[in-house]
Amino acid sequence: MRARSASAERVTLDAVDRIIVNRLQDGIPLVPLPFDAVAKEIGRNPEDVIARTARLIEAGVLTRFGPFFDAAAMGGAFCLCAMAVPRDQFEAVADLVNGFDEVAHNYEREHALNMWFVLATERPEGIAMAADEIARATGCDVLMFPKLEEYFIGFKVAA
Partner 1 sequence: MSGIDAIDRKIVTATQCGLPVVRQPFARIATEIGCSEADVIARLAVMAARGVVRRVAAAPNHYALGMVANGMSVWDVDDTQVSALGAEIGALPYVTHCYRRPRALPAWPYNLFAMVHGATRAEVETKRAEIAVRLGSACRASDILYSTRILKKTGLRLARSGG
In the complex, the smallest distance separating the C-beta of residue 136 from partner 1, rounded to whole angstroms, is 19
Interface with partner 1 (CB under 8 A), residue from 42, 65, 136, 139: 65
| C-alpha distances in Å from residue 24, one per residue of 19, 50, 54, 147 | 8, 11, 12, 27
In the complex, the smallest distance separating the C-beta of residue 110 from partner 1, rounded to whole angstroms, is 5
Within 133-152, which residues bind partner 1 (CB under 8 A)? Answer: 143-152
Asked whether position 26 contacts partner 1 by CB under 8 A, the answer is: yes
Return the closest-CA partner of residue 159 out of 8, 5, 11, 7. 11
Alpha-carbon dihedral angle through residues 89, 94, 100, 106, given to the nearest 10 degrees: 140
In the complex, the smallest distance separating the C-beta of residue 147 from partner 1, rounded to whole angstroms, is 4
**Please, what is the Cα angle at 155 between 11 and 96, to 5 degrees?**
75
Number of residues that bind partner 1 (CB under 8 A): 85
CA distance 34 to 32: 6
Nearer to partner 1 by Cβ, of 25 and 135: the residue is: 25
CA distance 43 to 3: 37
Within 94-133, which residues bind partner 1 (CB under 8 A)? Answer: 94, 97-98, 101, 103-111, 113, 115-117, 120, 122-123
In the complex, the smallest distance separating the C-beta of residue 87 from partner 1, rounded to whole angstroms, is 13
Within 29-58, which residues bind partner 1 (CB under 8 A)? Answer: 30-36, 46, 50, 53-54, 56-57
